[in-house]
Amino acid sequence: MRIWGTIPYIDLIIPSDKQTEYMKRHWSYEKNGKTYHDCQAVFERIVEDMEAAAELLPAVWPSPNINYGRPTKIAALGFKAKALQYSASPLFNEQSTGNLSYDNELLPAVHKLPGNH
């Protein structure tokens, strides 16, 4: 996202005659009374997807030889942590908010992840 900017987040089937309505380059997403813009909106949706995946995936797959390479709950939580870190970093805040510093509202979410003390 840093090179190309924000991306459209598609979570539904789009009819061919309405593609321009859904494929917006700049968009926002509201959650819990806070509005996220552009890159931060994408990261927030990624975080939600990883939370949902972590609930469905096992911590360890039975028969690791057969299930080698399959995602686990830990992998989903790892991607969630990565998305939260990027979301709060100056690399992406500059594009979303115009602020070239860490977002102190988003950064504490990384420390609330399981396993962080």
Q: Average pLDDT by consecutive 10-residue portion of the chain (117 residues)?
A: 68 82 74 79 88 93 85 92 85 73 75 61
Tell me 89's DSSP state.
S
How far is CA 64 from each of CA 16, 52, 56, 70, 73, rounded to the nearest angstrom? Answer: 42, 23, 18, 9, 14
Give the chain's length.
Answer: 117
The single-letter code of the amino acid at 40 is Q
Alpha-carbon distance of 111 to 104, in angstroms, equals 12
pLDDT of residue 51: 93
d(CA 56, CA 36): 26
Rounded Cα–Cα distance for residues 40 and 21 (Å) = 21
Report the pLDDT value the prediction gives residue 69, as an integer from 0 to 100. 87
**Residue 12 pLDDT:** 81
pLDDT at 58: 93
Q: How high is the pLDDT of residue 55?
A: 95
